[in-house]
């Protein structure tokens, strides 16, 4: 009898586990899956979904708000059990949340916040901390070169309508102010293209004769900034937010001074885990902030395993 009771308890537990995890249908609404950061986050979501027996459908808006609205309506109409959203901006997130609330669909927000609306949890990077940390890396480099007194720094920013954009700018500016390094202006990305990044970098270089560094608040269009720097014939430092696989070579080489690396793969996993916890009737934290890793030539070797998995989504075999 004890053995029978044990077997029955195991079967009961397994059935409860299946009920809590299997057959849940999740939609990931993302601003633009062609951007590596979002692609890696999607991989993290899918990896965790497989562990819990959930299915995931990815809807990319290609950074067009009309597409984002249509994707939201389509996903909700398909009777998803939950949404993970990485909206185009904090304003468009409000619309998504209104529609989801009306349909009684739980939402986890991943990375880009919302101006208002109801959601079960919000997971993001500590953008202020990450930007401040990479600002300290840059200011230390400029001080070593003796450029902190007479040099200035330009910013190529993600849209400042986004809460994460505001936080990145504020953290970086604080680091520059503490080092008493002048700002050389800010350009806000619209198309997120290599051509736009090149044009903004060139404009900042041409209009600021004392420019000694550029901070790109993204990573995938770094080549546009480097091209403008090369054409100028000047020695100008470049730091980025986020990371590309090639940064594992460019940072040790000194081509890029450093990068504030978010952990999109980890964020994606945790976003799915939050939805699973909600399905299991667990109490969720309203907000979670993940550390942003300030990576430079000095620490990249030590941090390599973490970078490969959590930042670039390269699982060890």
> Which tens digits make up the pLDDT trace of 279-289?
999 999 999 99
In this prediction, residues 231-241 reach a mean pLDDT of 98
Judgement on whether residues 212 and 271 belong to the same structural domain of the protein: no
Judgement on whether residues 52 and 77 belong to the same structural domain of the protein: yes
Domain of 45 in residue numbering reads as 21-125+264-290
pLDDT surpasses 80 at 13? no
Please tell me the total count of domains within the chain: 2
Q: Dump pLDDT digits (tens) for 224-234.
A: 999 999 999 99
Q: What pLDDT does 134 receive?
A: 98
Q: What pLDDT does 23 receive?
A: 80
Q: Dump pLDDT digits (tens) for 261-301.
A: 999 999 999 999 999 999 999 999 999 999 999 999 999 99
Task: Tell me if 15 is assigned to some domain.
Answer: no
How would DSSP label each residue in the chain?
-HHHHHHHHHHHHHHHHHHHHTT-EEEEEES-TTSHHHHHHHHHHHHHHHHHT-EEEEEE-TT-HHHHHHHHHHHHHTT-SEEEEE-SSHHHHHHHHHHHHHTT--EEEESS--SS---SEEEEE-HHHHHHHHHHHHHHHHHHHT-TTT-EEEEEES-TTSHHHHHHHHHHHHHHHHTTPEEEEEEE-SS--HHHHHHHHHHHHHH-TTEEEEEES-STTHHHHHHHHHHHTS--EEEEES--TTHHHHHHHTSS-EEEE--HHHHHHHHHHHHHHHHTT----SEEEEPPEEEETTTHHHHHHHIIIIIT-----
Beta strands 82-86 and 107-110 are: parallel
pLDDT surpasses 90 at 236? yes
Judgement on whether residues 257 and 279 belong to the same structural domain of the protein: no
Judgement on whether residues 132 and 255 belong to the same structural domain of the protein: yes
Taking the C-alpha atoms of residue 111 and residue 257, their distance in angstroms, rounded to an integer, is 25
pLDDT surpasses 90 at 170? yes
Q: What pLDDT does 3 receive?
A: 44
Q: Dump pLDDT digits (tens) for 61-102.
A: 999 999 999 999 999 999 999 999 999 988 899 999 999 999
| Higher-confidence position of 195 and 16 | 195
Task: Tell me if 212 is assigned to some domain.
Answer: yes
Q: Are 214 and 237 in contact (CB under 8 A)?
A: yes
CA-wise closest residue to 208 among 180, 228, 188: 228
Task: Tell me if 4 is assigned to some domain.
Answer: no
Judgement on whether residues 37 and 70 belong to the same structural domain of the protein: yes
pLDDT surpasses 80 at 16? no
Judgement on whether residues 252 and 270 belong to the same structural domain of the protein: no
pLDDT surpasses 50 at 1? no
Q: Which of 261, 279, 298 is the last residue of a domain?
A: 261
Judgement on whether residues 171 and 49 belong to the same structural domain of the protein: no
Q: Dump pLDDT digits (tens) for 138-155.
A: 999 999 999 999 999 999
Judgement on whether residues 268 and 119 belong to the same structural domain of the protein: yes
Task: Tell me if 11 is assigned to some domain.
Answer: no
Judgement on whether residues 98 and 164 belong to the same structural domain of the protein: no
Task: Tell me if 307 is assigned to some domain.
Answer: no
Q: Which of 216, 244, 261 is the last residue of a domain?
A: 261
Q: How many CA atoms lie within 13 A of 233 on its CB side?
A: 0
The model's pTM:
0.83
Judgement on whether residues 84 and 46 belong to the same structural domain of the protein: yes
pLDDT class of 113 with cuts at 50, 70, 90: confident
Judgement on whether residues 138 and 185 belong to the same structural domain of the protein: yes
Q: Dump pLDDT digits (tens) for 56-65.
A: 999 999 999 9
Task: Tell me if 94 is assigned to some domain.
Answer: yes
Place of tokens 């562990």: 51
Taking the C-alpha atoms of residue 152 and residue 165, their distance in angstroms, rounded to an integer, is 21
Task: Tell me if 296 is assigned to some domain.
Answer: no
pLDDT surpasses 60 at 10? no
Q: What pLDDT does 89 receive?
A: 87
Q: What pLDDT does 255 receive?
A: 98
* CATH code for the domain of 268: 3.40.50.2300
Q: What pLDDT does 36 receive?
A: 85
Q: Dump pLDDT digits (tens) for 154-167.
A: 999 999 988 889 99
**Average pLDDT over all residues of the chain:** 92
Judgement on whether residues 156 and 231 belong to the same structural domain of the protein: yes
Percent of the chain with pLDDT over 70: 92
């Amino acid at each position: 009898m004890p053995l029978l009771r044990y077997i029955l308890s195991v079967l009961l537990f397994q059935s409860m586990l299946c009920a809590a995890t299997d057959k849940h249908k999740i939609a990931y609404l993302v601003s633009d899956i062609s951007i590596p950061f979002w692609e890696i986050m999607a991989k993290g979501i899918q990896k965790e979904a497989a562990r819990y027996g959930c299915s995931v459908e990815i809807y990319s808006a290609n950074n067009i708000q009309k597409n984002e609205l249509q994707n939201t309506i389509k996903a909700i109409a398909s009777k998803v059990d939950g949404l993970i959203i990485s909206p185009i901006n904090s304003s468009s997130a409000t619309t998504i949340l209104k529609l989801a609330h009306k349909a009684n669909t739980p939402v986890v927000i991943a990375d880009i916040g919302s101006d208002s609306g109801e959601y079960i949890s919000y997971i993001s990077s500590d953008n202020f901390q990450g930007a401040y940390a990479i600002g300290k890396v840059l200011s230390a480099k400029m001080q070593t070169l003796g450029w902190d007194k007479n040099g200035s720094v330009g910013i190529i920013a993600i849209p400042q309508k986004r809460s994460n954009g505001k936080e990145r700018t504020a953290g970086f500016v604080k680091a520059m102010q503490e080092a008493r390094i002048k700002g050389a202006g800010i350009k806000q990305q619209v198309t997120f293209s290599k051509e736009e990044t090149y044009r903004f970098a060139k404009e900042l270089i041409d209009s600021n004769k004392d420019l000694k560094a550029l901070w790109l608040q993204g990573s995938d269009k770094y080549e546009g900034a480097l091209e403008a720097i090369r054409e100028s014939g000047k020695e100008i430092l470049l730091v980025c937010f986020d990371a590309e696989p090639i940064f594992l070579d460019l940072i040790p080489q000194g081509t890029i001074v450093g990068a504030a690396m978010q952990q999109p793969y980890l964020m994606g996993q945790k976003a799915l885990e939050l939805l699973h916890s909600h399905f299991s009737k667990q109490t969720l934290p309203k907000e979670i902030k993940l550390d942003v890793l300030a990576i430079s030539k000095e620490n990249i070797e030590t941090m390599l395993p973490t970078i490969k998995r959590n930042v670039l989504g390269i699982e060890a075999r």
